[in-house]
Amino acid sequence: MLFHVRMDVNIPATLPAADAEAVKAREKAYSQQLQDSGKWRHIWRIAGQYANVSVFDVDSVEELHTLLTGLPLFPYMQIQVTPLLRHPSSIRGNDQ
């Protein structure tokens, strides 16, 4: 199952800088692990914002929920999820 996920990050200014850097380092490691596994298929930064759009390839909505809530930055995120389907006009047969 493919999902388009937009994540907007808002780390509070009151979070100590060392704590913010630590959580961002954990976030990077976790996201790269998910990318290596193929679960986090694509990630793009939105220019001028602390936000990204991503494509996740998971087995269920529950799995997506577990992965997203496991993000170290999750407490500081606003997340929008949109399920995706292969478009019948797509020329790529491997879109799933």
- The pairing of beta strand 77-84 with beta strand 40-45: unpaired
Specify the fold of 2-84. Alpha-Beta Plaits (3.30.70)
* pLDDT tens, residue by residue, 52-85: 999 999 999 999 999 999 999 999 999 999 999 8
Mean pLDDT of all residues belonging to the chain? 95
For range 30-51, the mean pLDDT: 98
pLDDT at 92 exceeding the cut of 90? no
51/11 Cα distance (integer angstroms): 12
Q: What percent of the chain has pLDDT over 90?
A: 88
Q: Is 57 exposed, middle or buried (0-12, 13-18, 19+ CB in 10 A)?
A: middle
